Amino acid sequence: MGRTTVEVAAPRTAAIYLRISEDREGRELGVTRQQQHCRQLAKRLGVKVVAIFTDNDISAAAASQKERPEYLRMIRDAKTGLFGTIIAYTSGRLTRAPREFEGQIDLARNHGVLFQFVASPSFDLTTSAGRMMARMMAAKDTGEVEDISERQSDRKQQLIANGEWTGGRRPFGYDDDGLTLRPAEQERGLDAAKRLLAGDSARSIFTEWNVAGMTTTAGGPWDGSNFRQMILRPRNAGRVGKIPPGTKDFRKALDKLPKSRWPPLFAPDDRQAAEDTWVALMIKMTDPTRQKNGGATSLVLVGSHLYTCWCGSIARSGGTTASKQSRYMCKGGGHTRLAGPVDELVRAVVCARLDSQGVRLLPKTGDREPLLKRLALLKARAEEAAALFGDPESGFTAEQLKVTNARLKPKIEEVERELAQLADGSALEGIADAPSPSAAFLAKGIERQRVIIGALVEVTILKAPRGRRDFDPETVRIVPRPRPA
């Protein structure tokens, strides 16, 4: 991004713009450090710093409305040709509102001024593509951009912004350059992702790898932690950087990361598909029901966190009876039921459905296409709105932007939910199309069985009459779930 514009035409003189403000970056990264960083960047760019402008935004809440005298003076001086480059720590330091950004575009187009930032990407404002990108950045919450830059060291941040690898140990699936795929490892990684999505446990996969003598790139065995770290890295989706802890909206978080210069491991030729896989995997791997009692292998009973109790509460593994028989106990009311007969019945119903419907249970391959198209369209609309807002001639107001976003957000979320459901349907691949679907199902581990059951039926444990000893199938309600049409 920024790099190429610099190498093509860097004017000889530059101004540095510094701003101290109430936000975290402004407080923590005082003017002195901002200036140091900007001077270093100037040196790298080979430009001479001829002026420094500093605004202080700390005073009062009205600051956002207040004019910045030094900023305005700098714009004036730039127009007279006193300097050809303006350097700031981040684009957020320079631009507080999308509106101000138009003044910068004018400087770039009519006066050939370049903008360079220490810790955010620079765009060539003399091209329409560059302006479009920069407008979108400016229309976004600048706070988000600044937050990211705070967490990274400065040099690293620059590399990340440019989509480059920040170095370190060889990443699994790639050569030492971090860019070139190693086909054998890439296939393994992609296969692991598919199996996880289909319901296999992480443990079953990395145990296989260990048995096959396949080590981590450090030469050690795989375990739950290094496997998880490897499979969930944004690198696999063709993005650079990290997802902040506590993230709930994985798609949004991923969108904020710069695109990588290396091909995504999950789909080297299709970035969208790689991102979809990654998002589905994040949702799956952070599913709270997988983490109860310490990890993916903790599901003792196949219906744990899957069946519903008659009281409406979710059923979980509830220890054993005096005669050592496993039982379900609902979370809310503590109602218990022997697990064996219930699971046997549920498995029988699922087997019958698998054998009778077979491949018809599989999601059609074309199912994802219209959803992906719709998602792309909705996102394009959101971006269009942001771009309109950045263009003062459009008359598009902040209020209109807010309304548009509020309308688009639930639609985008709905499509993403549907895509996730389709990923669930993929649990049936290799099962519903097996020579004997029921045998293939029963041969699978408890994790995978659980996903398949959840995809095919809805199970409710009904209230059983007291005192009855033998199992009455009438006390379990099993309703088939409709398959994607």
Q: Which residues bind Zn ion (CB under 5 A)?
A: 309, 311, 313, 330, 333, 335
CB of 347 to Zn ion, least distance (A): 22
| Closest CB 328 distance from Zn ion, rounded Å | 9
CB of 338 to Zn ion, least distance (A): 15
Nearer to Zn ion, 160 or 309 (CB): 309
Q: What Å distances lie between residue 257 and 132, 230, 238, 422, CA to CA?
A: 18, 17, 9, 25
Look-up of token digits 């190498």: 7
The H or E element containing residue 329 is: strand 326-330
CB closer to Zn ion, 333 vs 480: 333
Nearest distance from C-beta of residue 324 to Zn ion, angstroms: 23
Q: How far apart are CA 120 and CA 18, in angstroms?
A: 15
Closer of 123 and 328 to Zn ion (Cβ): 328
Q: Which is nearer to Zn ion, 330 or 388 (CB)?
A: 330
CB of 310 to Zn ion, least distance (A): 6
Instruction: With beta carbons less than 8 A apart as the criterion, state whether 278 and 234 touch.
Output: yes
Q: How far is the CB of 288 from Zn ion (least distance, A)?
A: 19
Beta bridge partners of 13: 48
- Closer residue to Zn ion (CB): 134 or 309: 309
Least distance to Zn ion, CB of residue 278, Å: 37
Q: What is the DSSP string of 174-204?
A: B-TTSSSB-HHHHHHHHHHHHHHHTT--HHH
Identify the residue whose tokens are 């095919």.
456
Q: What is the DSSP string of 66-120?
A: S--HHHHHHHHHHHTTS-SEEEESSHHHH-SSHHHHHHHHHHHHHH--EEEESSS
Least distance from Zn ion to the Cβ atom of residue 464, Å: 12
- Tokens found for residue 381: 């609309």
Which residue, 279 or 459, is less far from Zn ion as judged by CB?
A: 459
How crowded is residue 228: how many other Cβ atoms within 10 Å of its Cβ?
17
Cα-to-chain-centroid distance, residue 16: 35
- The rounded distance, in Å, linking the Cα atoms of 230 and 216 is 9
With contact defined as beta carbons under 8 Å apart, do 371 and 419 qualify? Answer: yes
Give 263 or 318: the residue with its C-beta nearer to Zn ion: 318
Strand order in 457-461's β-sheet? Answer: 308-309, 457-461, 476-480
Cα–Cα dist 252/465, whole Å: 49
Contact 302, 343 (CB under 8 A): yes
- Residue 202 or 330 with smaller CB distance to Zn ion: 330
Q: Least distance from C-beta 311 to Zn ion, angstroms?
A: 3
Q: Rounded to a whole number, what is the largest CA-CA distance in the chain?
A: 94
Number of CB atoms found within 10 A of residue 346's CB: 21
Beta partners for residue 52, in sequence order: 16
What residues are paired with 458 via a beta bridge? 479
Nearer to Zn ion, 254 or 461 (CB): 461
Query: Which residue, 247 or 336, has its beta carbon nearer to Zn ion?
Result: 336
Q: How far is the CB of 307 from Zn ion (least distance, A)?
A: 10
From the CB of 314, what's the least distance to Zn ion, in Å?
9
| Residue recorded with tokens 């389709």 | 422
In whole angstroms, what is the distance from residue 406 CA to residue 397 CA? 14
Q: Which tokens go with 289? A: 């029901």
Residue 181 or 314 having the CB closest to Zn ion: 314
